[in-house]
Structure formats: C-alpha cells, structure tokens
Structure 1
Amino acid sequence: MRKFTNAISSIVIADLGCSSGPNAVALISVAVEAIFRYCALEQKVPPELCVLLNDLPDNDFNNVAKHLVAFQKDAECFGPVLTAIVPGSFYKRLFSSSSVHLAFASNSVHWLSEAPEDLMKGGIPMYDADDDLRQERRPLVLEAYARKFRKDFTLFLNLRAQELVPGGQMVISLPGYCSSESAGQSNLPWDGIAFMLNDMVSRGVVEREKLDSFYIPMYGPSDKELRKIIEDESSFTINNILAHEVMNDMDRSSITPKMMALAARAAYEPIIVQHFGATVVEEFERTVELHVRAGTPQLAAAGLVFLSVSLTKKV
C-alpha cells in the first residue's frame, strides 16, 4: 500500500470473477476504503482510483452495475472512484499491458476453462455409480483434473503478469487442501454434488447416460500444488500462502439445510441446466436439502479449506 500511494497518482484495481450479487463489490470496497484511510492517516493526497469488475459474458452485469452505483455513492465520502465492467474469460487477456496495480480473484480460479479433455474423449465419467470402479478410476480422474488445473492456472498467471505493473499485487483465494491432509488425495470439491446427481439417477430423475457424460470443470488444489505452479511459472514472488476453514463452528450452527441447498443451486445451476435441462433444478435443490438434513456422510468434504495466496509481480 505504501509503495502504491507514494509512487503514483492513480491506482487500478481489478476483481476477476466478481459474480453478480452483493459480494460483487465486497473486495473492491475493502481495498478502496483501505487506500483512502491510509492516505488520510498519512495526510497524503489520495490517488485517483479506477475499479474494474470482470466475469464471464453471461453474468448478470445489469445487477453488477446497480451495485457499482451504490458503491460509488458510498465511496463519495472518501473521494471519486471510476468504475468499469470488463466481460470475458480470465483465461484470456482482459486489460492493457502493465496497467493493473492490484488484482483479486476470490473463489473463482478453481473453475477450469473446461473439463479435462482426456476424460471426455476417453468416455471416463467423473463419478462412477459402482463403488469399486469409482475407487479404481479415482487416481486417473484426480490426475486428469490436476493436469488441467496446472495448465489453466499457469496460463492465468502468465496473462495477469502481462497486465500487472511491475511490483503489482495479486490476491487469490480458492477451495483446496493442505498437502499434509490425506483427504486431498481422495476428494474433489464437486464430490458431494456428483453424489446428489447419482441419487437422482437412481430415482429416475436423471438419465444414467446424462450423468456419465457430465463433467464439472472444477478443481481444488493443495497448497503444495499451488506453490509449485507459481514457482514454475516464475512471474510472481509468493508473499504468503494461508489455509483457513471454509466455515467456523458459529457459521455451521447458523446455516440451515435449506440455505445449503440454495447455495449449491446458486453455484451449480447454470451448468446443470445446460447439461440436464431446467426441469431437474428444483429436484436437485430438494435432494441437496434432504441429504444435508439427514447428515449424509458423502457430503462431508473432509480436509477442504480455503487457500489464500498473496503474490507480487517480479520487477
């Protein structure tokens, strides 16, 4: 922060994968307020701030725009903030070269550009109904997803390195595992959702062929994997990698099965509708709620944490 405010008259902040709800402006609000408060404390003239919000083109940017208007109004007490929306995949270039000073990617880069091609081409389902076959193929599925994540995340880092100024900062958070946890070798973030869909197959709601050809483009790496990919790509210095629980005990006690079901629907509805059709979404939500209420053990993502990574672009 001190480096930015002392050296330049303007700061560009980008949020990659902002979504469309109230959280769309949550991270940038914290960053903007921190910059203005720092300048006030140090009695410095605040820099001109420009905020860029990015997500896929089918995101609800009308809703994002409304949140941006409210955000700008709240920020008026500190100073003017310019805003813009940048639709597009963050697996492609989004911003001009050496223009961004601070970039966020919260709960977004675990979404892959697409599911592993070798699984799709080989007709190997991400989730086998047969327990023995699923366990036999498990290492193959894990390895395919890990390779795809490495390829995508390396590209993501390379693109952002082109867009950030020298010394620019990037903060990334995503679901994953600590390398010390053996659970990371046997679980994927979508395991519980695949179990739900398989249950719907057993009740005739979803066709088996449809589930066998369905691949969720998502992967949760370990902290060791993240560090290795970042070091191999070599554009950034790692300031820190931290792991923290997805939910604390207080959060768990206040979250109802219905809330969990709605959260699962919000996250997975677009890809479920695209593959299975809109008619199954209500039953998917109901299935999630019933299994959460029953405490189905397959839903416990043992060892799952949020990994937070702080990076500085090398000069």
Structure 2
Amino acid sequence: MKPLIEAAILDLCSRSSTMLPTRMVIADLGCSSGPNALTLVSIAVQAIHSHYLQFVQPPPEVWVLLNDLPHNDFNTVVQSLVTLHKGNDPVVVTGVAPGLFYERLFTSGSLHLVCSSNSLHWLSKAPGVLTSNKIPAYDIDEHARLERLPIVFEAYEQQFRKDFTLFLKLRAKEQVPGGRMVISLPGRRSDQLASELCHLRETLARILRIMVIEGVIDKAKFESFYVPMHGPSDEDLRVIIQEEGSFFIGEMRVHDPRSGVDNALMVPSWFAIMMRAVFEPISVQHFGDVMDEFMACTEQRWSQPGSLEEEVAGNPLVMLVVSLTKA
C-alpha cells in the first residue's frame, strides 16, 4: 500500500499549481492496536512532509483520525500517537473514532485520504439468509458440505456486495471533492473457482471439524457458527466499485503476501499463530475458551510431512490493493 498512499498524497498536494493545501485530514479505518496501528497514517504524514519540503513551504495542519470497533484497545493506540509529533514533522492533530465502518463516522466533506488495511473482508454480519433459515455454513458431512457450498458462497457474496457498496457510499459523503482512498483486503483471483469460499474461513472450518470429531466442541455449535468474512475476487471488487459510482479506480494490484517470505518461517506454529490472531475473539465468543486445543489441532494438522506445502500450494493467499479517487 505504501507507494499507492504516497501517490495519493502527491496527487492531493499537487492539484493546485498556485496554492498548496493548508489542512489535510487522514483517516485509517480498522487501525487495530498493535505495532502496525500507525503504519498507514505515518506513511501519509511523511509523504506530506517530504512534498512540502520540496517547495520550502510551511507544512499544513494534518488531522489523523483512527477508527476501529469500540472494544479496540484505544488506550494503547493513544499512547503510541506521540510518535507522530516528532521533530519537524507537519503539525498533527490526532483523534480516535470508535465505531463500525458500515456506519457514518465523520462529518460530511471532511476527509482527504482514507486508508484501510486488512479489514474490509469483515462483514457487518453473517448472511441473514443462512442464519434465519439455519443453513449451516459448514457441515461435518463432507458430501453435504459440497452440495451446499454454492448456496453458502452466494449468500456470503451478496452480503459482501451489500456491505461494500454501503461502505463506498458512506466514505463518499465524508470525503472532500477528489478525495482519495487506498484499501487492501484478502481475496481471490478472478480465475479462481467462484465456488471456493474464503480460504481462511475454509481452513478454520476444517480445523473446527476435527475438533468436533475429537469431542472438543459441540456439533450443533459448529453448524451454527457463521464467520462474517468474505474474500472477493479482483473482478468482484471492480464491478461493485463501478456500479456504485462514487469512486474512480486509479490502480488495482493483486499479489501474494507470502512471496519473498523466507521458507524457514513457513512452519506449522507460524500458521497456527496467524489463525489464532485472526479468529480467536469470534471463536471464543461462540465456543468458549478452546484456543489451547485449537492451537494443538492446527499444528498437528500441518505437522505431517508435506501437508503444509500442500496447504500453501492449494490455497494461494491473495491480497487485493485498490487506489480510488472520489468522482
């Protein structure tokens, strides 16, 4: 996302040849609270600083707004905000905005740049057509699961379309004319089978299915577990953006985030930790504290020779990165 954020800042700063902006507002939606919470806004602030140095002009007043769900650890986030006020960096005014990004978060026409990394695959809710009709997203019986797969996929796809369309409409209201947005989320390539579910969600289901067979979790609870997550294809994303109409697509990139990673790191424990980081809160809420058993089952699943390599090869991890301009 870094080069796309830098390009967006350059575009915002270069629109007028006679007067540079005196105020810029940047928002990160889904900032989380760990070491990466300030990564995207820090890139943007540094890009603004570098651009103004070229023109030997005073830096603008920069507002940085960080959003995540209300239960996010904003105390830790606020403590780390001091790093944005170092040295000769632009004047930075910071704030937090707890809330769901499928709702209005900011005042109309206030945002210049919106960033969101690895967050928009989370849906506002599990598909209602599944939950209301008690259609399991997963099933212990493999034959029944495969038969139901197209119905489940369609339900998740429609929920994502509804949520992402709403997200675009809301952000368009909050952005200035010509505002920019750079987002990334896990998904799939357009040439992957449409019947394939989100890879991470499918991997989670396989692990939980083993835990059901071993008696760790209840079968009925497993079949009533709906993870509100969907990974669209790049073409899905393009169609939704074009149909909604609030933004122009500047650039779209599709890449494997595991490319270039040292193979020595690709061990069962690393994948187990990744799965825990993504799914622990929602799993504990539904099944209770079974994470020790979950970790053991996950590592055991991939401890057989060749199993991890087969998992990686058969389920490519794809990240979609999109740069948008408000129409």
Unpaired segments ≥5 residues, structure 2: 1-8, 14-18
Alignment partner for residue 84 of structure 2, among 56, 72, 75? 72
Partner residue of 1:111?
122
TM-score (norm 2): 0.90
Matching residue's letter, 2:98: P
Counterparts of residues 1-315 of structure 1 (less than 5 Å):
1-5=9-13, 6-69=19-82, 71-73=83-85, 75-182=86-193, 184-189=194-199, 190-278=201-289, 280-294=290-304, 295=307, 297=310, 302-314=315-327
Unpaired segments ≥5 residues, structure 1: none
Q: Is residue 60–residue 91 contact of structure 2 (8 Å, CA) maintained in 1? A: no
Task: Please identify, of 115-124 and 40-49, the stretch whose mean Cα deviation from structure 2 is larger.
Answer: 40-49
Task: Please identify, of 123-132 and 289-298, the stretch whose mean Cα deviation from structure 2 is larger.
Answer: 289-298
| CA distance 1:3–1:132, change in 2 (3 Å) | closer
Q: Is residue 192–residue 299 contact of structure 1 (8 Å, CA) maintained in 2? A: no
> Across the two proteins, how many residue pairs are aligned to each other?
310
| CA distance 1:3–1:241, change in 2 (3 Å) | closer
Q: Deviations over 1:249-290 (max 9, x none)?
A: 434432432222122112111101111112x11111222222
Question: 1:4 Cα shift?
Answer: 2.9
Matching residue's letter, 1:48: E
Question: 1:80 Cα shift?
Answer: 2.5
Tell me the distance in 1 between the aligned counterparts of 2:96 and 2:164.
23
| CA distance 1:109–1:259, change in 2 (3 Å) | same
SS of the residue aligned with 1:23? coil
Question: 1:77 Cα shift?
Answer: 3.4
TM-score (norm 1): 0.94
Tell me the distance in 2 between the aligned counterparts of 1:224 and 1:310.
15
Q: Deviations over 1:197-219 (max 9, x none)?
A: 11100100000001000000000
Partner residue of 2:4?
none
Tell me the distance in 2 between the aligned counterparts of 1:46 and 1:301.
49
Q: Is residue 257–residue 317 contact of structure 2 (8 Å, CA) maintained in 1? A: yes
Between the aligned residues of both structures, percent identity stands at 48
Q: Is residue 15–residue 103 contact of structure 1 (8 Å, CA) maintained in 2? A: yes
Question: 1:300 Cα shift?
Answer: 5.8
Task: Please identify, of 248-257 and 189-198, the stretch whose mean Cα deviation from structure 2 is larger.
Answer: 248-257
Q: Is residue 54–residue 88 contact of structure 1 (8 Å, CA) maintained in 2? A: yes
Q: Is residue 60–residue 90 contact of structure 2 (8 Å, CA) maintained in 1? A: no
Matching residue's letter, 2:279: Y
Matching residue's letter, 2:175: L
Tell me the distance in 1 between the aligned counterparts of 2:312 and 2:206.
8
SS of the residue aligned with 1:293? coil
Tell me the distance in 2 between the aligned counterparts of 1:232 and 1:145.
19
Q: Deviations over 1:287-307 (max 9, x none)?
A: 222223332556766243100
Question: 1:162 Cα shift?
Answer: 0.4
Partner residue of 2:5?
none
Matching residue's letter, 1:203: E
SS of the residue aligned with 2:273? helix
Tell me the distance in 1 between the aligned counterparts of 2:165 and 2:67.
19
Compute the RMSD of aligned alpha carbons: 1.6
Tell me the distance in 1 between the aligned counterparts of 2:108 and 2:286.
37
Q: Deviations over 1:61-96 (max 9, x none)?
A: 111112212x224x3332321110110000000000
| CA distance 1:164–1:86, change in 2 (3 Å) | same
Question: 1:181 Cα shift?
Answer: 2.6
Tell me the distance in 2 between the aligned counterparts of 1:300 and 1:18.
30
